Amino acid sequence: MNPVYRKQPLHPFVLAQQMLPGSYVSAESALGFHGWIPESVHTVLSMAHGGKSVTYQHAQLGKFEFRRMTTHTGYFLQSVARHELQHQAALVAEPLRALLDLVYLRKLEWQGLGFLTSGMRIDEQQLRSVTGLDITRLQDVYKGRREQAFLTEMQRSLGL
């Protein structure tokens, strides 16, 4: 990890990917990365398929959380994209996927667009960029009724 031995600074998302291969960065970490929320996020939260949820903290590298989730078979990486970060690659959830992963983790119920824009501070313009296809893709991912209802209500509220 010594910077003397690296050509590029180590991006935290890339480090998370190396700590648990097959995971992807999501939730507030991905929402901040995509500009959907204004807050600075200091913990890198990643989603993992199977295994236990774990947290690692390092004085110089930061805090990393890996949360386990279940999805329909074959859809774990749906709406997750590979991003080049300082000449290194990491998997990062697309914004709507990151939001639905938060719904999954926090067991959030649909409370309207106002809750998303005011309560969660999600940028309304970004939220309105969601398409019907974005929502349809995620309906195949989640097994839970809560996530399915959230997607259905969001689709209705956005007029899609």
Predicted confidence at residue 39, as pLDDT, reads: 82
Q: Kindly tell me the burial class for residue 83, based on how many C-beta atoms sit within 10 Å of its own C-beta (0-12, 13-18, 19 or more).
A: middle
Q: Kindly tell me the burial class for residue 96, based on how many C-beta atoms sit within 10 Å of its own C-beta (0-12, 13-18, 19 or more).
A: buried
Mean pLDDT computed over 70-74: 93
Secondary element (H or E) of residue 36? none
With beta carbons less than 8 A apart as the criterion, state whether 79 and 20 touch: no
What digits encode the pLDDT tens for the residues 81-103?
999 998 889 999 999 999 999 99
Mean pLDDT computed over 110-131: 93
Which position has the higher pLDDT, 107 or 2?
Answer: 107
Predicted confidence at residue 6, as pLDDT, reads: 60
What digits encode the pLDDT tens for the residues 11-62?
899 999 999 999 999 999 999 999 999 888 889 999 999 888 999 998 888 8
What digits encode the pLDDT tens for the residues 142-151?
999 999 999 9
Predicted confidence at residue 61, as pLDDT, reads: 85
Predicted confidence at residue 152, as pLDDT, reads: 97
